[in-house]
Structure 1
Amino acid sequence: MRKTMLLLALLPLSLGAIAAEKKAAPPPDPVEDPLLITAGFLTHHPDLKYRMLGMEAYKEKRFDDALRYFRRASFFADKPSQGMVAEMYWNGEGAPQDRALAYAWMDLAAERGYAGFLGLRERYWNALSAAERERATSEGQAVYARFGDEAAKPRYEFQLRTGRRNITGSRTGFTGNLQILVPGPAGEQSIPGSKFYDERYWDAKKYWAWQDNVWMKPAIGRVDVGDVEVVREGQPPKVDSRIPETRPQVDAPVPDVPEEPAPKPTP
């Protein structure tokens, strides 16, 4: 009987669920805040935007659309979306089943050493035949060239810089008393600039550190005839990729996506 990995259960984890720092509260979860979304926050955060659209499509069993959305998020260095692409290829959802290509994508999702994805990567590898392993390491080079961090992070950091330049008073680096007005059915609502422009959303180093805090240690389970096996903390799998290094393609074409649904009105 086919085992279904519960990777999808990880995707809705609150991206604001970082342990509170001594001098600063964690930022709000942008994908769960309708005001932030309506205010255009996701315009400059395509990783979160297309992961969210992919999640919605997947839950509605629109697997073709979900795969395309996850690939677009993956293009902007989103490791959870890369893991979902792997799962979908592994299970034949949205595309013909391709276990070798699935391994290449899960190897990519584990690129930063996130424990859950490393565990799934090793399970994939152990299930592959010798021929599949050979093809995975060969075809994986093209996957890394286009979607690996060396190519994807510079693209994403450009998005952050572009968005940050839109901050009122950005020359001084302060948002001050800036209020962002969002029109809605009941009139305009305001978002404090300090919430919208939290440094952890816009400074590249802080953004990647934030992502690491969220994804480094969560366990990933799987279902097998009603039982759940959990990848627990302990001796971590080997982090090094099995796929040979390749030259990053920062200017690779952006993956296409379905027509995006109209934004939901602000309550």
Structure 2
Amino acid sequence: MKRSIRIVTAALLLVGAASLAQAQDGPPPDPTADPLMISAGFLSAHPDLRYRLLGLERYREQRFEDAFRFFQRSAFYADKPSQGMVAEMLWKGEGVAQDRALAYAWMDLAAERGYLGFLGLRERYWNALDEAERARALEQGQAVYAKYGDAAAQPRLATVLRRERKNITGSRTGFVGSLQIFVPGPGGYQPIDGSKLHDDRFWDPEKYMAWHDAIWARPMIGRVDVGEVEKVDEPEPLPSRIPKAAPETDAQEPTTPDADESGLGTQPPQPGQAASGP
């Protein structure tokens, strides 16, 4: 069990190009791996990615309490990888009191869109719970879904994306053509191609969610196959066990510590860096 958790934790840290390469229809380059995109204000307009990266930075530094809070704040904006990290940390008791029942509720939430990696962990969690923990997981999960489920969280993110797009240079006219945006960088101001910053897949809520789906539907989770390659039909994923709850559209955003974001996104975590924990 611990081995599989380490593998998936490492996979969650792969925000960059290796996972993006699996997306269909020519995915845009990973904006979180481009210091110039970060300097252009991209992360401030995308709180899901911003707080996930801050959580990953703190996790690598083993500042687990801060990491947990940043992941929760990212989860508030429908970020499934962050919801999975909240579950992992609750399951292992990293930065928060261990609570396996609540961890299951969060992993069920992370699997809400049918992402295979999270579905697999959700079932492992469920099989490890006793009957009392299962009952509590289903009860507590309703509050988790009410505040962090897609019905509540996706509209929040959509509001931010639409609002912040209006504040990006050149977006009001919709013309990006030969537009260049100058941002501070090493050795002075540097230009970035306006079409890169204004890619609809970063700003249109539906296209943005589709971009995430393309990345996380089949995440990079380590596996070793022995013997001849065999095609196996994948079973239909089981639906959520947690009863539906009315979305809390006016829920209060989680608070997080003040953060130094000067180097955020400039040093993407490498595979397995967070996999050395217990």
- Give the alignment's TM-score, normalised by structure 2: 0.85
Question: In structure 1, what is the equivalent of residue 21 of structure 2?
Answer: 17
Alignment check: 8 A CA contact 2:171 2:198 kept = no
Between the two proteins, the alignment pairs up a number of residues equal to 254
Is it true that 1:43 corresponds to 2:44 in the alignment?
yes
Higher relative contact order (CA 8 A, sep 6+): 2
Task: Measure the CA separation in 1 of the matches of 2:167 and 2:232.
Answer: 42
- AA matched with 1:14: G
Question: In structure 1, what is the equivalent of residue 116 of structure 2?
Answer: 115
- AA matched with 1:202: W
Alignment check: 8 A CA contact 1:83 1:109 kept = yes
- AA matched with 1:67: F
Question: In structure 2, what is the equivalent of residue 61 of structure 1?
Answer: 62
Question: Residues 2, 112 of structure 1: CA spacing in aligned structure 2 closer, same or farther, 3 A cutoff?
Answer: closer
Q: What displacement does 1:44 show?
A: 0.9
Kindly provide the CA deviation profile for residues 47-101 of structure 1, in whole angstroms up to 9, marking residues without a partner as x: 1111111111111111101100100110000000000000000000011110000
How well do the aligned residues superpose, as a CA RMSD in angstroms? 2.1
Question: Residues 256, 234 of structure 1: CA spacing in aligned structure 2 closer, same or farther, 3 A cutoff?
Answer: farther
Is it true that 1:170 corresponds to 2:190 in the alignment?
no
Task: Measure the CA separation in 2 of the matches of 1:164 and 1:233.
Answer: 43
Is it true that 1:207 corresponds to 2:208 in the alignment?
yes
Alignment check: 8 A CA contact 2:183 2:189 kept = yes
The unaligned stretches of length 5 or more in structure 2 are 224-230, 267-278
Question: Residues 178, 239 of structure 1: CA spacing in aligned structure 2 closer, same or farther, 3 A cutoff?
Answer: farther
Q: What displacement does 1:178 show?
A: 2.0
Is it true that 1:133 corresponds to 2:137 in the alignment?
no
Aligned pairs (5 A) from 1:196-235: 196-218=197-219, 220-221=221-222, 234-235=233-234
Question: Residues 172, 196 of structure 1: CA spacing in aligned structure 2 closer, same or farther, 3 A cutoff?
Answer: same
Alignment check: 8 A CA contact 1:38 1:263 kept = no
Alignment check: 8 A CA contact 2:138 2:241 kept = yes
Alignment check: 8 A CA contact 1:103 1:124 kept = yes
Secondary structure, aligned partner of 2:183 = strand
Alignment check: 8 A CA contact 1:219 1:233 kept = no
Identity of aligned residues (%): 60
Question: In structure 2, what is the equivalent of residue 226 of structure 1?
Answer: none
Q: What displacement does 1:238 show?
A: 2.9
Task: Measure the CA separation in 1 of the matches of 2:39 and 2:107.
Answer: 32
The unaligned stretches of length 5 or more in structure 1 are 223-231
Question: Residues 184, 13 of structure 1: CA spacing in aligned structure 2 closer, same or farther, 3 A cutoff?
Answer: closer
Question: Residues 201, 50 of structure 1: CA spacing in aligned structure 2 closer, same or farther, 3 A cutoff?
Answer: same
